[in-house]
Structure 1
Amino acid sequence: MSSIEEYGANFCFPAKDLESDRVKLTPFLPSKHADAFYAIPRPSYDYLPFGPFDTVDEFISDFLEARIHAEQSCMLFAVYDKTKASETGKADGALAGAIGFCNASASNLAAEIAFVLISPKFQRTHVTSNAIGLLLHYALDLPEAGGLALRRVVWQASPLNEPSLKAAERMGFKREGYLRWVYVMPEGKPIGNGRERRAGDPKPHLLGRDAIILSLCWDDWENGARRRVDAIMARTA
């Protein structure tokens, strides 16, 4: 039995490795990846409605177990930069972060790319674009090409998170809408939507956050988005 079978990935679609020439995604296993992920320079959680986590045990219990493993709609992958294989002495290369799906629905043939937690050390390289591209291929390709043949892939971002919005649009996502007050941010978050809560709000000390919704659908994929994504993945810089 493989380690992913032992862990029992609770995802509504098959959990498997995804790989390009330069990046590999593998289902995130707490026993295998949590300590290593926590040891690398951590990404910012400022715009996210969860985290940061003070300890690796908190990361496992509050994020991996409570948010990912508990939901059939969620899946997290460890992201490896294969171009670092010679430096690390490992075929998979260096652990660069994590990425995954949320709000996945087998009945509606849809999923959202989420949990984009790429270490600052690997940002502005080929890693993020290849990781996103692998998820898009898995979601939108037909089964004979190894995909799920989903109809819709979603991306959400804070309106203030320009790097996230630019990354999505660069990969072919199209803006669809603006959701106001969609998240109550955890205590200590420095970035919300910049607007005050009304008197009598039950959580007056917690910021609110808006979201911009983008999507890339099967017809976009077949009409040029796949070629665009492949070209971006093939770039070396």
Structure 2
Amino acid sequence: MSEACSNFHFPVPEILENALVKLVPFIIAEHAETFFSGLEDSLFAYLPWGPYATTEDYVNGLIETRVRPDPGMLLFAVFDKASGALAGTIGLLDTSPVNLSTEVAWIITLPAFQRTYVTSNATGLLLHWVLDAPAQGGLGLRRVNWKATTANKASVGVAERMGFRMEGVARWDRVLPEWKTVENGGNGITLREGDRRPNCIGIDVVSLGLCWDEWEDGGRDLVDKVMSRR
């Protein structure tokens, strides 16, 4: 069992894979250094956390303090099977066994593997696991969420290609750290005088959803078609 996901609500498979990529539980000792060595600060532009100065900062600032203690969170390492290289991460957050829901999260595809089949196939494998019925090897959840800042059009585009439906925009939903700039995803609206966090921009967040009935009514086939593209 992975150090990063030993507290997850559901049993975690040792591997999720197809012909192109494989997902394995992120293990700090095996994956952190390699993954961190491929990171660029720009990959954190739209995220409310990061970038990190060292591997230790990444592990302590994200995995040990956020992912590992929370049973609703899970992190996978993504490998490109053609090269054998670690290509990124993907995972889940806000997983609820009561409401049978979760959110796709922690998606960081390293630069060498962007605009390839990696992100779509990693996402597709994760969707199969969470939305397929238990008899098919899945968790049988009813709903999967996807959230992204309105400025992150690439993330929203991936979600829509995978069958997620746009459900709304939460305005001023999050406040980013001081080192994030407006160009990196803020809504660009001037803050009022006397704001409590005047050096921190706010972002509007797009919410998308994919539900079990849509999955059964053509959603699974759509995802499989996207995953088959090279």
Same fold (TM over 0.5): yes
How far apart in 2 are the matches of 1:187 and 1:98? 25
Query: Structure 1 vs Structure 2: percent identity of aligned residues?
Result: 47
How far apart in 1 are the matches of 2:53 and 2:37? 12
How far apart in 1 are the matches of 2:11 and 2:188? 40
CA RMSD of aligned residues (A): 1.3
**Which residue of 2 is the match for residue 66 of structure 1?**
65
**Greater mean alpha carbon deviation, residues 122-131 or residues 37-46:** 37-46
Alignment of 1:20-169 (within 5 A): 20-42=18-40, 44-84=43-83, 93-169=84-160
Q: Deviations over 1:87-126 (max 9, x none)?
A: xxxxxx1100101101111111000001111001101111
Q: Deviations over 1:105-153 (max 9, x none)?
A: 1111000001111001101111000000011001100011110010000
**2:8 aligned with 1:11, yes or no?**
yes
How far apart in 2 are the matches of 1:180 and 1:22? 38
Q: Given that residues 75 and 106 in structure 2 are in contact (C-alpha distance below 8 angstroms), is that contact kept between their aligned partners in structure 1?
A: yes
How far apart in 1 are the matches of 2:27 and 2:138? 22
Q: TM-score, normalised by structure 2?
A: 0.94
Q: Given that residues 41 and 121 in structure 1 are in contact (C-alpha distance below 8 angstroms), is that contact kept between their aligned partners in structure 2?
A: no
**Greater mean alpha carbon deviation, residues 33-42 or residues 19-28:** 33-42
Alignment of 1:136-215 (within 5 A): 136-190=127-181, 191=184, 192-215=186-209
**Equivalent residue letter for 1:151:** R
**Equivalent residue letter for 2:168:** G
How far apart in 1 are the matches of 2:29 and 2:6? 13
Deviation beyond 3 Å, 4+ runs, structure 1 = none
Q: Deviations over 1:48-98 (max 9, x none)?
A: 1111111100000010111111211110100000011xxxxxxxx110010
Long gaps (5+) in structure 2: none
Q: Given that residues 163 and 223 in structure 2 are in contact (C-alpha distance below 8 angstroms), is that contact kept between their aligned partners in structure 1?
A: yes
How far apart in 2 are the matches of 1:32 and 1:187? 32
Q: Given that residues 193 and 208 in structure 1 are in contact (C-alpha distance below 8 angstroms), is that contact kept between their aligned partners in structure 2?
A: yes
- The alpha-carbon deviation at position 8 of structure 1 amounts to 6.2
**Equivalent residue letter for 2:140:** A
- The alpha-carbon deviation at position 41 of structure 1 amounts to 4.2
SS at match of 2:76: strand
The change in CA–CA distance for 1:136 and 1:54 in structure 2 (over 3 A counts) is same
How far apart in 1 are the matches of 2:149 and 2:166? 12
**2:220 aligned with 1:226, yes or no?**
yes
**Equivalent residue letter for 1:13:** F
Instruction: Report the count of equivalent residues.
Output: 225
Q: Given that residues 4 and 63 in structure 2 are in contact (C-alpha distance below 8 angstroms), is that contact kept between their aligned partners in structure 1?
A: no
**Equivalent residue letter for 2:16:** L
Q: TM-score, normalised by structure 1?
A: 0.92
**Greater mean alpha carbon deviation, residues 95-104 or residues 196-205:** 196-205
**Which residue of 2 is the match for residue 88 of structure 1?**
none
